[in-house]
Amino acid sequence: MNKKSDVTILGGGLAGLSLALQLRQSSPAASITVLEKRAHPVPEAAHKVGESTVEVAAHYFGNVLGLKDHIQQQQLPKLGLRFFFPAGDNSRIQDRLELGGKRYAPVPSYQLDRGRFENHLADECLSNGIDFCHQTKIEKVEITKSGDHCVKFSQNQLPGQINSKWIVDASGRRAFLKRQLGLSKTSPHVCNAAWFRFSKQIKIDDWCNDARWSAGHDGKTARWYSTNHLMGRGYWVWMIPLSSGSTSMGIVAAEEFHSISDFNSMGKAVDWLERFEPQCADAVKSHLDHVQDFRAIKNYSVESKQVFSKQRWGITGEAGFFHDPFYSPGSDFIAFSNSFLTDLIRRDLNGKGFRIRAIAYDKIYKKFFYGTSTAYLDQYQIFGNPTVMPVKILWDYLVYWSITGFIFMQGQMCHQRMYLRNMTKLSRLGKMNHFMQDFFRQWHRATEGIPASGCIDISQIPLIREMNQRLLDDMNHGQFANRFGDNLLQLETLGNEIVANSGIDVQVPFQQSAKPSVRQNAFETIFASVNGTNDPVTEERDAALI
């Protein structure tokens, strides 16, 4: 089979299929081809990780791509991210400091069964006239300076060739273009992961039968609807429910604390859990006859020297960059890269200039990536600290809602003038976040080993709910600029507040705002909790937070 295409996408997983749909929306007349190695439909549940979405990805899939009906009807709502910090030998979940909400956030997020979702994406592509070729093996990619690229492949053992104006690599860790063009770059973030799924729902709510601990978590507000994180020094364990009735579980750990050789098989993973997370180990052992799959990956963080080119090629998804799954950012960065690529390709197909934008978007995307990576790099040492981590987590939320989440959800991602107007603010935000991430490490060293218990209901913290809600505001350019400035002032005030409450003698390199609209003492609930004033199973605690 020999054919021509305006755009050929290498890989028909989450990144490739969603890009194809977004391109079809922006360029209805374009010929789009997707080449996918796997046979479709793919299995539900036992397929891929990356099931947890946060605000940007939920907005991208639901609103930008128009898939909200499928997501609301065929996937599960997510009761946010939830964290349990260490207490003793971790044998009693009710003794652990908990950070999470009892209400759904104003901006929705979801747990996606990747198999079910990618099958739906493939069907949408076919119904929109996109040429989706599955069971296709890519043999060779030829990139030319003129933009007349060539992909050679085989399908059902028959050779084929596509000549394409644009080539986009969405092949995941196979990373055809990155490897072929010598763009691979070693990440300094050295972490490993193992994951496995069960054909049964494993509910963290069942780990304690104390009615006071369970209060407020009934029906759709049960804790198992969250992406649950079991936290420890140098590691975390996830538990994610899937709409197919399965449960996704994984171990993620920094190599300096936990070698991948300690949990890179099902048997080893059970032994590791028995040592660090005994309640989770008991749940796993009682469901071993329901295991659907197991996979381990070493050094999962990947980087690339370039992702967008004026020579009409691009890279999206894990084929280019991936830093860490802790805050579920993988699909967010798919949304970012796909949106940049869609704008470049649309402009080119419409006869408009795109080459300078390709250079600019490449720089912007990498700045977003490296700015976000500060939340993870050298931070796993803090993960088991119940004093520092609740504050760090909420700080990271607010940074996300103030910068990348805010920019994307306000439709400003591809507006070059926005970056020029806010260059100084973005620089201040970046420097401030770097300072705070370093401060969290200092604070950790001063407080390591101090226990804490209780429950921090983030849905009752006004600033958290307000900042999340504001992502939905419909703003013009002037209102956007004013809000961006207010976000910066709010973060600077919070930075001062966090340092002041920590007791660490550090000079803060930014000022606290006196603007009336900026909240003061926004983290009072957090500081009260980590100082031990909230008992995990007392009526007084529940009354204070509800």
d(CA 465, CA 488): 17
* Residue 178 placed within a domain: yes
pLDDT tens per residue across span 258-274: 999 999 999 999 999 99
Percent composition of the chain: helix, strand, coil (DSSP 3-state, to 5): 45, 20, 35
My answer on whether 354 and 434 are in the same domain is: no
My answer on whether 200 and 286 are in the same domain is: yes
Q: Which of 297, 313, 329 is the last residue of a domain?
A: 297
Q: Is residue 543 pLDDT above 60, yes or no?
A: no
My answer on whether 20 and 119 are in the same domain is: yes
Q: How many CB atoms lie within 10 A of CB 224?
A: 19
Structure tokens at 215: 């209060």
Strands 247-254 and 235-241: antiparallel
CATH assignment of the domain containing 164: 3.50.50.60
My answer on whether 398 and 468 are in the same domain is: yes
- Which residues, 6+ apart, have CB-to-CB distance to 5 below 8 Å? 31, 32, 33, 131, 162, 163, 164, 165
d(CA 45, CA 114): 7
- Give the angle subtended at the CA of 289 by the CAs of 284 and 295, to the nearest 5°: 65
| CA count, 13 A, side-chain hemisphere, 261 | 1
Q: Which of 384, 413, 442 is the last residue of a domain?
A: 384
Terminal CA-CA length for the chain = 64
pLDDT on residue 535: 46
Which of 20, 44, 18 has the alpha carbon at shortest distance from 30?
A: 20
Q: Can you name the residues that pair with 185 across neighbouring β-strands?
A: 303
* Residue 145 placed within a domain: yes
My answer on whether 306 and 270 are in the same domain is: no
pLDDT tens per residue across span 240-253: 999 999 999 999 99
d(CA 189, CA 323): 7
* Residue 75 placed within a domain: no
Q: How far is CA 441 from CA 248, 387, 400, 532, in A?
A: 30, 12, 20, 21
pLDDT tens per residue across span 47-96: 788 899 999 999 999 999 999 999 999 999 999 999 999 999 999 999 99
d(CA 279, CA 91): 6
Mean of per-residue pLDDT scores for the chain = 94
pLDDT on residue 532: 52
Contact 351, 200 (CB under 8 A): no
pLDDT tens per residue across span 122-141: 999 999 999 999 999 999 99
pLDDT tens per residue across span 494-530: 999 999 999 999 999 998 888 888 988 888 877 776 6
d(CA 134, CA 38): 6
Contact 481, 422 (CB under 8 A): yes
- Buried-exposed string 291-328: b where 16+ CB fall within 10 A, e elsewhere: bbbeebeeebbbbbebbbbbbbbbbbbbbbbbbbbbbb
My answer on whether 288 and 397 are in the same domain is: no
My answer on whether 486 and 349 are in the same domain is: no
Q: Is 117 left (phi over 0), alpha (psi -120 to 50) or beta?
A: alpha
Q: Give the type of residue at 355.
A: R
Q: Is residue 355 pLDDT above 70, yes or no?
A: yes
Q: State mean pLDDT over 302-320.
A: 98
- Quote the number of domains for the chain: 3
d(CA 236, CA 233): 8
Contact 365, 358 (CB under 8 A): no
Residue found under tokens 């071993």: 288
My answer on whether 15 and 65 are in the same domain is: yes
Structure tokens at 11: 């890989």
DSSP state of 42: P
* Residue 84 placed within a domain: no
Q: Is residue 539 pLDDT above 50, yes or no?
A: no
Q: Which domain holds residue 253?
A: 191-297
* Residue 101 placed within a domain: no
My answer on whether 145 and 211 are in the same domain is: no
My answer on whether 8 and 124 are in the same domain is: yes
Task: Give the pTM.
Answer: 0.95
Q: Helices marked H in 27-135 — which ranges? A: 55-59, 68-74, 114-127
Q: Can you name the residues that pair with 33 across neighbouring β-strands?
A: 8, 131
pLDDT on residue 536: 41
Lowest mean pLDDT among 23-37, 454-468, 512-526: 512-526
pLDDT on residue 150: 96
**Residues above pLDDT 70, as percent of the chain:** 97
My answer on whether 408 and 478 are in the same domain is: yes
Structure tokens at 515: 């603007």
My answer on whether 354 and 459 are in the same domain is: no
CATH assignment of the domain containing 267: 3.30.70
Contact 101, 220 (CB under 8 A): no
Contact 57, 63 (CB under 8 A): no
* Residue 523 placed within a domain: yes
Q: State mean pLDDT over 21-39.
A: 97
- Which residues, 6+ apart, have CB-to-CB distance to 270 below 8 Å? 281, 284, 285, 288
Which of 114, 182, 183, 152 has the alpha carbon at shortest distance from 334?
A: 114
d(CA 240, CA 197): 9
Which of 22, 3, 99 has the alpha carbon at shortest distance from 66?
A: 22
* Residue 56 placed within a domain: yes
Q: Which of 337, 362, 384 is the last residue of a domain?
A: 384
Q: State mean pLDDT over 416-431.
A: 94
pLDDT on residue 261: 98
* Residue 80 placed within a domain: no
Q: Is residue 537 pLDDT above 70, yes or no?
A: no
DSSP state of 200: S
